[in-house]
Amino acid sequence: MTDIAHQLAISTSTVIRKLNDFHFEYDFSRLPKIMSWDEYAFTKGKMSFIAQDFDNLNIITVLEGRTQAVIRNHFLRYDRAVRCQVKIITMDMFSPYYDLAKQLRFQISRLRLKQSPRLFHSRMLKSCWIAFTLYNILAVL
């Protein structure tokens, strides 16, 4: 948060206040054909879930938890026909994600499990998240 505040020349409390005011507007009528699932440390000691469109790097959702119940409840808002449009999900070796994808009846033709070091993927997600956050903060200011 301090990095964002420093880059925008505003206080950290303003960044936190704007982030707390921000809410995603979900479009439950479509999902991308290729989706990426991952977790990241949003707050110290707590992991969050992020799903994004693999092709154009648009963030689909950021959920406060990474438990199966939280993720399942979110994706059950989509019709089954919409979920069936997803053909590929990329994810790391966190096994509950794979089980959850099967439970949600995603018609996955290929599943790519990431076994390589997470550094590159983590940096890519972090840069997308920071760019997304900066864009939304600037839009609100």
Give the pLDDT of residue 31: 92
Q: CB of 122 within 8 A of CB of 40?
A: yes
Q: What is the pLDDT of residues 73-110, one digit of tens each?
A: 999 999 989 988 888 888 877 667 878 888 887 765 55
Checking if the pLDDT of 129 tops 80, the result is no
Task: Find the mean pLDDT for residues 36-60.
Answer: 85
Give the pLDDT of residue 32: 92
Q: What is the pLDDT of residues 22-38, one digit of tens each?
A: 776 778 899 999 888 88
Give the pLDDT of residue 90: 84
More confident residue, 19 or 14: 14
Give the pLDDT of residue 53: 92
Domain-located, residue 44:
yes
One-letter amino acid of 43: T
- Name 51's bridge partners: 37, 61
Checking if the pLDDT of 117 tops 60, the result is no
Domain-located, residue 6:
no
More confident residue, 129 or 7: 7
Domain count within the chain: 1
Distance CA 79, CA 53 (A): 18
**The tokens of 130 are what?**
């920071």
> Which structural domain, as residue segments, surrounds residue 68?
27-140
More confident residue, 72 or 101: 72
**What's the CATH code of the domain at 62?**
3.30.420
Closest CA to 40 of 4, 65, 73, 72: 65
42-62: string of b/e by CB count within 10 Å (b at 16+)? Answer: beeeeebbbbbbbeeeeebee
Q: Which residue has the tokens 């054909």?
A: 33
Domain-located, residue 21:
no
* Residues whose CB falls within 8 Å of the CB of residue 54, separated by 6 or more in sequence, listed in order: 32, 34, 35, 36, 88, 90
Domain-located, residue 60:
yes
Q: Which residue has the tokens 């406060």?
A: 64
